Amino acid sequence: MKKKVLVLLTAISMLATTGCAAVTTSETPAGESTVTAGEASAETQSSNSATTMSDTVAAANGADLENYVVPAKDTGKALSDIKIGLSFAYTDTDEFTVAQYNGALDEAEAQGVTLHITDAHSDEATQANDVIDLIQQGMDVIGIYPVNGEMIISSVEACNAAGIPVFLFSTPPATKEIESLIDGFSGGNAYHLGEQMAQTCAEVLGGSGKVIELAGLYGMTDSDLRCEATRDVFKNYPDIEIIDSQEYGWAKEEAITVVENLLIKYPEVDAIVCANDSGACGAIAALEAVGRLDDVKVFSCNMTDEGYEAIKAGKLYSSGIQDASEEGHEAVKMGIDIAMGNEYKFYGYTSTEVVTAENVNNFETPGY
């Protein structure tokens, strides 16, 4: 499995400057995009036929999409003929996305469908090119893990205009408008993860303290929802103050630098809440370097192997576990369900749980 991942990620890196590197489960590059971001935007504007909602949302007829089950319909598609395109925001920044990536590949191979994957390397313009390239390659369905939750609307509209069903995965729709244009969402409940983390933090602090917030990436819905949930929970605790919020690009090394600087600026800190374990482990490293880990408690989401070991070692107070590999598998499954017209939940949430030193032995290491 590791060999397959390295081969594919290398192929993506080699073609990154072109804006798209589509791969299949047979590890064969499917070509490079020649569409620029400007051309993608122009094409979207000229071809968008005033789409106000996806066929799926229109058929829901005002139903609560959080709990809506999309009914089955016959599309006439055979499983072996299905081509699914997945546009990842990134695939190699942290262990979680690599596990998502592997899960998607494994599910596609098991199901016998063709899977094309692109990597935007956290760049909005690259992702716009990627989606246009997937449209031009004639995907039956396209899934998007947005770099920027709000800016992805032009890519969603491009899929609508081309008559290709589109869903989001990993990061849910940032606005009601975007929600109305897609055919579903597959992934973890980012808001719930942030809510669980913040509630744990508030209880451990006894409802009072100074907190630093580490956001993964501003503008990325997954990160924004976790931050929003944290602030919503803390509204119930007026004596808890978020003294600063900084992004770290989902990268441990960047988190180390950010926290080093914040610890100089704020000599009094009681806790650090982090959007994922890369940030948490970076915060732990920075705190250890100045001998302050015993004084500042660290809380996180998206548990990784490193985070798991940090909890067992008493360095990380808690993290939220969700199965990254499962998210990759479920993204491909949703693509299949949409393409074949199977029944599926519009919001296909995966499960999340809080892990602390008290229950960590009940869980296996995440494997990423």
* Residue 351: pLDDT over 50: yes
* Residue 252: pLDDT over 80: yes
Provide mean pLDDT across the span 240-269. 97
Give the pLDDT confidence of 288-341 residue by residue, as tens digits.
Answer: 999 999 999 999 988 999 999 999 999 999 999 988 899 999 999 999 999 999
Q: Which amino acid is at 269?
A: V
d(CA 204, CA 48): 51
Judged by DSSP in three states, 55 sits in helix
Q: Facing residues of 273 across strands?
A: 213, 299
* pLDDT the model gives residue 52: 67
Provide mean pLDDT across the span 3-12. 33
Question: What does the chain come to in residues?
Answer: 368
Query: Which pTM was predicted?
Result: 0.72
Domain boundaries 2-188+324-350, corresponding CATH code: 3.40.50.2300
Mean pLDDT, the chain, whole residue set:
87
Q: Which residue has the higher pLDDT, 43 or 341?
A: 341
* Residue 14: pLDDT over 80: no
CATH architecture designation of domain 190-322+355-362: 3-Layer(aba) Sandwich (3.40)
* pLDDT the model gives residue 95: 79
Provide mean pLDDT across the span 272-293. 97
* pLDDT the model gives residue 220: 85
Longest dimension (CA), the chain: 64
Q: What is the C-alpha radius of gyration for the chain, rounded to an integer number of angstroms? A: 21
Judged by DSSP in three states, 99 sits in helix
- Torsions phi, psi for 290 (to 5 deg): -115, 10
Q: Which residue has the higher pLDDT, 45 or 146?
A: 146
Q: What percent of the chain has pLDDT over 70?
A: 86
Q: Which residue has the higher pLDDT, 36 or 197?
A: 197
Confidence tier at 34 by pLDDT (50, 70, 90): very low
Q: Where in the chain is the domain with CATH 3.40.50.2300?
A: 2-188+324-350, 190-322+355-362
